[in-house]
């Protein structure tokens, strides 16, 4: 996926709470009689400096798994946890955060046209999409004999590549379902088989025989 268009969704504003702590929180726990000992004060400062790093991590633990403010290297890992394996690591970090956040919200709709259409396809491409399927409710013996089929139409590639969309549809649709993918007026899946003229076939047979 490339970043050729403006993301359809953005991350909501997040305010990370900054905990205020006494800069001498550890040394000030000494008994009053020891606070005047300069050596002990400096010696304990070494342990306080080390402990400050752990305290900072604990203070921000609640934000570690928020896609809006999580460390960059954790955002893609969170995407992998929720089954989003199509994130291109060349995308801007903000775009990756948007994909992870909204995909997590759409997990409840997975397997439905709403989840596939308004979720992954429009989220990944940033473009409008439509889905037509052969599903329906039929009386016994009246169901069509052909396998279920889905036709997906997307106005433009937007932020995605063709291979990305084919991979998404292959992963999200049930195994027996066949599908067609159109980008604008072009059918990109399944790709048409190359047309071979009878003369070329005959030439190939003669070449093999010789």
Asked whether residue 31 is assigned to any structural domain, the reply reads yes
Residues whose CB falls within 8 Å of the CB of residue 60, separated by 6 or more in sequence, listed in order: 16
Asked whether residue 141 is assigned to any structural domain, the reply reads no
Rounded-to-integer distance, Cα 191 and Cα 23, Å = 65
**Percentages of the chain per state (helix, strand, coil), in multiples of 5:** 45, 10, 45
DSSP secondary structure code for residue 118 in this structure: I
- Return the C-alpha torsion angle 61, 67, 71, 72, nearest 10: 170
Per-residue model confidence (pLDDT) at position 15: 55
Residue pair 9/98 in contact by the 8 Å Cβ criterion: yes
The owner of tokens 């093999």 is 208
* H/E element, 166: helix 162-172
Asked whether residue 11 is assigned to any structural domain, the reply reads no
Per-residue model confidence (pLDDT) at position 154: 93
Asked whether residue 71 is assigned to any structural domain, the reply reads no
For 53, the domain range is: 27-59
Asked whether residue 52 is assigned to any structural domain, the reply reads yes
Asked whether residue 3 is assigned to any structural domain, the reply reads no
Residue pair 150/131 in contact by the 8 Å Cβ criterion: yes
Number of domains in the chain: 2
**C-alpha of 150 from chain center:** 23
Confirm whether pTM is higher than 0.85: no
Asked whether residue 156 is assigned to any structural domain, the reply reads yes
Asked whether residue 36 is assigned to any structural domain, the reply reads yes
Neighbours of 114 (CB within 10 A): 13
Per-residue model confidence (pLDDT) at position 14: 57
Neighbours of 13 (CB within 10 A): 6
Rounded-to-integer distance, Cα 192 and Cα 201, Å = 18
Nearest by Cα to 31 from 23, 39, 41, 21: 41
Per-residue pLDDT of the chain (210 residues), as tens digits, is 444 443 445 666 555 555 677 888 888 888 888 888 888 888 988 999 999 888 888 888 888 888 988 888 889 889 888 877 767 777 778 888 888 888 888 888 887 888 887 667 888 888 889 999 888 888 888 888 888 899 999 999 887 888 888 988 888 888 888 999 999 999 999 876 554 445 544 444 455 555
Q: Is the peptide bond before 61 cis (omega within 30 degrees of 0)?
A: no
Q: Which of 11, 38, 59 is the last residue of a domain?
A: 59
The owner of tokens 């919200």 is 105
Per-residue model confidence (pLDDT) at position 42: 87
């Amino acid at each position: 996926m490339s970043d050729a268009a403006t993301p359809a969704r953005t991350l909501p504003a997040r305010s990370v709470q900054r905990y205020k702590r006494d800069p001498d929180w550890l040394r000030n726990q000494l008994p009053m009689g020891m606070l005047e000992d300069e050596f002990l004060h400096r010696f304990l400062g070494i342990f306080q400096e080390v402990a400050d790093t752990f305290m900072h991590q604990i203070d921000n633990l609640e934000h570690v798994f928020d896609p809006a403010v999580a460390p960059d290297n954790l955002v893609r890992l969170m995407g992998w946890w929720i089954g989003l394996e199509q994130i291109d690591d060349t995308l801007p970090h903000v775009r990756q955060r948007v994909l992870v956040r909204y995909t997590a919200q759409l997990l409840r709709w997975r397997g439905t046209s709403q989840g596939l259409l308004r979720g992954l396809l429009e989220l990944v491409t940033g473009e409008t999409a439509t889905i037509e399927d052969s599903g329906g409710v039929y009386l016994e013996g009246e169901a069509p004999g052909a396998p279920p089929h889905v036709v997906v139409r997307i106005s433009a590639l937007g932020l995605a590549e063709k291979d990305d969309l084919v991979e998404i549809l292959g992963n999200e649709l049930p195994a027996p379902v066949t599908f067609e993918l159109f980008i604008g007026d072009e059918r990109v899946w399944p790709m048409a088989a190359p047309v071979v003229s009878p003369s070329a076939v005959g030439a190939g047979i003669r070449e093999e025989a010789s």
